[in-house]
């Protein structure tokens, strides 16, 4: 059978990535120290940075969500008004 894959906790990944980003140790040193492939550390670093970029850009996302929520509320109010108008019209006709 093949080697069993080690599961890395988010905390350990973060610690390794931050160590690389601070320049405290090289990727090669950390890979040897933790018994992990250098390519995996590079992948974690990319994922970490991409998540940070996504979070920094979240203001635009938050603004879009708020605009959609406002539009949703407007449409609900409009629908309520139309349903009330129909109900009044039915009552007026004796239905």
Question: Is the pLDDT higher at 55 or at 80?
Answer: 80
Confidence of residue 10 (pLDDT cuts 50, 70, 90): very high
More confident call, 72 vs 53: 72
Residues 15-55: tens digit of each pLDDT: 999 999 999 999 999 999 999 999 999 999 999 998 887 77
Q: How far apart are CA 90 and CA 78, in angstroms?
A: 18
The reported pLDDT for the residue numbered 4 is 75
Q: Which CATH number fits domain 7-56: 1.10.260, 3.40.50, 1.10.1760, 1.10.10?
A: 1.10.10
Identify whether the C-beta of residue 20 lies closer than 8 Å to the C-beta of residue 30. Answer: yes
Give residue limits of the domains in the chain: 7-56, 58-95
Name the pTM for this structure. Answer: 0.57
């Amino acid at each position: 059978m093949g080697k069993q894959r080690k599961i890395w906790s988010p905390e350990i990944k973060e610690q390794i990535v931050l160590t690389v980003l601070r320049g405290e140790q090289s990727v090669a040193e950390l890979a040897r120290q933790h018994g992990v492939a250098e390519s995996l550390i590079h992948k974690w670093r990319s994922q970490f940075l991409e998540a940070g970029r996504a979070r920094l850009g979240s203001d635009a996302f938050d603004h879009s969500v708020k605009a959609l929520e406002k539009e949703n509320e407007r449409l609900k109010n409009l629908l309520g008004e139309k349903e009330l108008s129909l109900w009044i019209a039915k009552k007026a006709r004796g239905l």
